[in-house]
Amino acid sequence: MKKIIGTALVLVLAMLLSTDVFSQIKVYPVGSAGSLINKEGLFYSLPRTLLRVDVIVEMKEEIPGPLHAYAEKYMGLGKVPALHTSQYQIKEIRVVPIAQPDPDQSYFVQIDRKSKEDKSVVLSLTESGIIKGVNLDQAMDQVDFRRVDENAGSKNDASLFDYFADYNLYKSIDTIARRISIDAANVERFLYNTSWLERGLEQKSKEASEFIAKIRENRFLLLTGYQEINYGEGMAYMDGELKKMEREYMSLFTGRTKKESILKSFTFIPQKNVVGNQVVFKFSNSEGFLKSNSSRGSNVYIKIISHQNTLSIDRFNRLVAVLEDVKPTGCYYRIPEKVTIQVLFDGEVIHESEQLISQYGTVAQTPSLKSSIEFNTQTGMIKRIRLR
């Protein structure tokens, strides 16, 4: 009987010691930890969600041709662009969530080294201090790679009007005739005066129109078989080159339309307690992106609609905190909130997507630090757990 009682006392004492030893490792919120001077431990943070708003805009430029003033006179074209104008249009918006340490959710893991028992805890953190896992096994500690391909470039022509870069001077030869009387005989002597004159726009317009007419004549002769030679595929090639040359010369009168894609990114930090539309950037269809304090253009707003999927969990945690005296000693983690994100411009929704916002959710605590836990470093939610 004495042996049984002694054995039971040893088991109870071992359980108490084990519980007491493990309780030496505690996690405190940094903002409410009180005095932790001379305490050993380390810090970790929970992530918050920052939104990167990528805006892809198409810029369309109408560039008048250098000979546009003579388009009607020489080519019979009534309306051609005479002013350099630009138009901007939002083509696509992408909202990309990015995780960063939340300054309001930092925690201190206190470790008491005075105990002789094994109380080791392995914490895995990211480079920025966001918690990645507790007591992770090699199989659980995997790195995820994500590749994002961006395709928003611009195509710039080296020269919009190649055929306008011609000789600006032309040779003028004047013939001067002089009559000389020698012994009742009249002799004419011709003198040639050569000079270089500058071509005016009207002269260039006339020459360009004549060359266009010549190109069209050559195309007609080519297509009607004037040469009576079967060129095969060569005929299609020559016709294509003549059409290309005609378009180039015509652009001297009609001008060109240039399109370019512009990618610009803005960052936005969602605030849980802020309600309503919030300005992300300012935009104008005639000027593009504008400064936030500009009096021109219109504001582009972002609207976040919470699905409130964590509301019941938050209520449960508050109720347990009031009724229970014993608090868990595990790590704090986040349960993110699912939201609908809308981007509005001139009263219209130009983008809508669903995302997870960490700071819109709630913060909970694991039962203990003995388990192997892997966290999602983007949201702070438990990704995988193995109880021990």
Please name which of 127, 141, 155 lies closest in space to residue 61, comparing C-alpha atoms: 155
Q: What pLDDT does residue 19 have?
A: 36
Q: Looking at the structure, do residues 174 and 213 belong to the same domain, yes or no?
A: yes
Grouping H, G, I as helix, E, B as strand and the rest as coil, residue 92 is: strand
Instruction: Give the C-alpha separation, 214 to 287, whole Å.
Output: 41
Q: What pLDDT does residue 46 have?
A: 95
Q: pTM of this prediction?
A: 0.69
Q: Looking at the structure, do residues 149 and 241 belong to the same domain, yes or no?
A: no
Looking up tokens 């892997």 gives: 374
> Nearest 5°: CA angle at 356, between 351 and 362?
140
Instruction: Give the C-alpha separation, 89 to 384, whole Å.
Output: 44
pLDDT tens per residue across span 214-260: 988 888 888 877 666 666 677 788 888 889 998 888 888 888 888 99
Average pLDDT of the chain, as a whole number: 78
Q: Looking at the structure, do residues 224 and 337 belong to the same domain, yes or no?
A: no
Q: Looking at the structure, do residues 277 and 240 belong to the same domain, yes or no?
A: no
> Between 259 and 191, where is the model more confident?
259
Q: Indicate the residue among 254, 289, 305 that finishes a domain.
A: 254
Q: Looking at the structure, do residues 207 and 231 belong to the same domain, yes or no?
A: yes
The answer as to whether 366 is a domain residue is yes
Q: Looking at the structure, do residues 146 and 175 belong to the same domain, yes or no?
A: no
Q: Looking at the structure, do residues 182 and 119 belong to the same domain, yes or no?
A: no
Q: What pLDDT does residue 292 have?
A: 87
Domain of residue 368, residue span: 2-60+85-156+259-386
> Between 326 and 303, where is the model more confident?
303
What percentage of the chain exceeds 70 in pLDDT?
69
How many angstroms separate the Cα of 299 from the Cα of each of 96, 223, 275, 282, 342? 20, 56, 17, 4, 14
Token duo for residue 175: 């013939």
The answer as to whether 68 is a domain residue is no
Hey, what amino acid is at 314? D
The answer as to whether 343 is a domain residue is yes
Q: Looking at the structure, do residues 227 and 346 belong to the same domain, yes or no?
A: no
pLDDT tens per residue across span 148-187: 444 444 445 445 666 555 545 445 555 555 666 666 666 6
Q: Looking at the structure, do residues 175 and 99 belong to the same domain, yes or no?
A: no
Q: Indicate the residue among 254, 269, 292 that finishes a domain.
A: 254
Please name which of 383, 366, 365 lies closest in space to residue 374, comparing C-alpha atoms: 383
Please name which of 252, 264, 172, 259 lies closest in space to residue 212, comparing C-alpha atoms: 252
> Nearest 5°: CA angle at 134, between 12 and 376?
140
The residue-averaged pLDDT of 2-22 equals: 38
Q: Looking at the structure, do residues 176 and 215 belong to the same domain, yes or no?
A: yes
Q: Indicate the residue among 197, 225, 254 that finishes a domain.
A: 254
Asked whether residue 81 carries a pLDDT value surpassing 80, the answer given is: yes
Token duo for residue 360: 């819109």
Tally: H helices and E strands in the chain = 5, 15
Q: Looking at the structure, do residues 41 and 140 belong to the same domain, yes or no?
A: yes
The residue-averaged pLDDT of 350-378 equals: 90
Hey, what amino acid is at 364? A
H helix intervals, 192-297:
201-223, 233-254
The answer as to whether 80 is a domain residue is no
> Between 189 and 30, where is the model more confident?
30
Asked whether residue 305 carries a pLDDT value surpassing 70, the answer given is: yes
The answer as to whether 306 is a domain residue is yes
The answer as to whether 70 is a domain residue is no
The answer as to whether 74 is a domain residue is no
The answer as to whether 69 is a domain residue is no
Instruction: Give the C-alpha separation, 59 to 88, whole Å.
Output: 5
The residue-averaged pLDDT of 36-56 equals: 88
> Between 61 and 187, where is the model more confident?
61
Q: Looking at the structure, do residues 114 and 22 belong to the same domain, yes or no?
A: yes
How many angstroms separate the Cα of 239 from the Cα of each of 170, 249, 271? 30, 16, 63
Asked whether residue 263 carries a pLDDT value surpassing 70, the answer given is: yes
The band of 354, judged by pLDDT with boundaries at 50, 70 and 90, is: very high
As for how many domains the chain has, the answer is 2
